[in-house]
Amino acid sequence: MADSPYIFEIDESNYEQIVLRGSFQVPILVDFWASWCQPCQMLMPVLAKLADEYQGKFILAKVNTEEQQAIAQQFGIRNIPNVKLFRDGQPVDEFAGALPENEIRAFLDRHLPRESDGTVAQAQQLLMGGDAQGARALPEQAREQDPANPRLALMLAQTCAAAGDVDGAEQVLDTLPADEQDNPETKMLRGQLFFERIAQQGTPGADPAARVEQSPDDSDARYRLAAQQIVTNDIAGALDNLLLVMQKDRKYGDDAARLALLKVFDMLGDDPAVNRYRARMFALLH
């Protein structure tokens, strides 16, 4: 372990060079540990094995919290083992405890570059250019060589959605491992598919905006208009319309407007708009 070119003992003299500056070149996995910590002793050989196996795709930096208290305090380390992944000078993800090897691999694979990531970028360019079918073919082919890359699956689902294949997109998302299901991108896409399906279920050829203009109290038209607005990224307009349906017609679709609002809140995550609209929803409920 001591002779590995991919593992470094960190102190104040090399912390900035290896962890901060180094993370602009390659991901740095920082293991905060102590000699008295039994889970730390269990975790260390697993991390060392992976560092050597990944052959420089990441660097393992070990911080003895007993000897390097200033560094540990800087990151608020209270419980160990604590492992943080640094990119571009900042911690971007972490885990605590002696996780099994397969979970650590999954943690690393979410962040480490893979050859097939180039396909994701190519597909994104085609998608932005309006070629949904061409974009879809790239991740489909690449997944045959690298089926474990979740970024390929997510891109494939996005291209399916862009082509109007909601069922196909949902089936692809269902193949993602459990730890990827809570990924913000996954949750956002699932929400978009939920509203895409609602928009598709409307009366063929009927424009919900025109229906709302003709009949402002038509709850079904306003609900489907909100779904259409989510699909076209008019989030504020959609939230306002869902609140209006909830205010005027709570019974519509077995409280469909409130449930849709919760779905949007889940899609938006930490967006500041969530608190504002959640407060408005709460006011209507009470």
Q: What is the pLDDT of residues 13-34, one digit of tens each?
A: 899 889 988 888 889 999 999 9
Q: Give pLDDT, residue 32.
A: 95
Q: Give pLDDT, residue 145.
A: 86
Hey, what CATH class is 7-109 in?
alpha beta
pTM, two decimals, is 0.64
Q: Are 82 and 28 in contact (CB under 8 A)?
A: no
Res 91 pLDDT > 50: yes
* Dihedral pair phi/psi, residue 218, rounded to 5°: -80, 100
The reply to whether 37 belongs to the active site is: yes
Please give the CATH superfamily to which domain 117-179 belongs. Tetratricopeptide repeat domain (1.25.40.10)
- Looking at every residue in the chain, the average pLDDT score rounds to 90
The reply to whether 160 belongs to the active site is: no
Q: Single out the catalytic residue among 10, 19, 28, 40.
A: 40
Q: What mean pLDDT do residues 116-141 have?
A: 88
Domain range summary for the chain, segments of one domain joined by +: 7-109, 117-179, 198-285
Res 85 pLDDT > 80: yes
From its phi and psi, is residue 255 left (phi > 0), alpha (psi between -120 and 50) or beta? left
**100 CB-near residues (< 8 Å, 6+ apart):** none
Q: Single out the catalytic residue among 37, 80, 156, 231.
A: 37
Q: Give pLDDT, residue 151.
A: 85
Q: Give pLDDT, residue 203.
A: 67
Topology agreement, domain 117-179 and domain 198-285: yes
Q: What mean pLDDT do residues 100-116 have?
A: 86
Architecture of domain 198-285: Alpha Horseshoe (1.25)
Q: For 37-77, write each residue's pLDDT tens digit.
A: 999 999 999 999 999 998 888 999 999 999 999 999 988 88
More confident residue, 244 or 92: 244
Q: What is the 3-state secondary structure (H, E, C) of the chain?
A: CCCCCCEEECCCCCHHHHHHHHHHCCCEEEEEECCCCHHHHHHHHHHHHHHHHCCCCCEEEEEECCCCHHHHHHCCCCCCCEEEEEECCEEEEEEECCCCHHHHHHHHHCCCCCCCHHHHHHHHHHHHCCCHHHHHHHHHHHHHHCCCCHHHHHHHHHHHHHCCCHHHHHHHHHCCCHHHHCCHHHHHHHHHHHHHHHHHCCCCCCCHHHHHHHCCCCHHHHHHHHHHHHHCCCHHHHHHHHHHHHHHCCCCCCCHHHHHHHHHHHHHCCCCHHHHHHHHHHHHHC
Res 121 pLDDT > 90: no
Q: For 205-250, write each residue's pLDDT tens digit.
A: 678 999 999 999 999 999 999 999 998 889 999 999 999 999 999 9
